[in-house]
Amino acid sequence: MYNSVAQNNFDEIDKILNIDNDYVSIEPGSSKILQFNPTKKIEVVEKIYKGKPFTQIRFIVIEQNSDNKEKSFNVGKKSARLMIAKLKEGHTLLKIERIGSGTDTLYMPTPVYEDKG
């Protein structure tokens, strides 16, 4: 739709807008590696989506290969249950893959094993 110059400009603007962002967002079909801190309080957050209230769970995480700044990561209850299960197993470094969008979004956690070589 746009040429590569325009697309690069959009990408640069996105980077600028996300510099001070205190929230982790994952685009549909992509993934990020997040370090969860189970000692940080997990909160319930009320949001509005398309005029309807819904509940999300807020985790405090650090995005791998970023500025090591703690950020909020909000997910729905179904995704939160999956993440809590992995945290209870002792996995705190998780690859989070986003499947779907809108109210059909699911974040799938997979443990990441660090190479201690």
Q: What residue spans define the domains of the chain?
A: 23-111
Say how far apart CA 110 and CA 88 lie, in whole Å.
Answer: 13
The CA–CA distances, whole Å, from 41 to 29, 71, 92, 93, 117 equal 28, 13, 14, 17, 32
**Would you state the pLDDT for residue 5?**
83
Q: What is the pLDDT of residues 64-104, one digit of tens each?
A: 887 788 999 999 999 999 999 999 999 999 999 999 887 78
Structural tokens at position 52:
């309807």
Beta-bridge partner residues of 82: none
Evaluate whether 72 touches 56 at the Cβ level (below 8 Å): no
pLDDT band of residue 15 (cuts 50, 70, 90) is low
Q: What is the pLDDT of residues 30-64, one digit of tens each?
A: 999 999 988 888 999 988 878 888 899 999 999 98
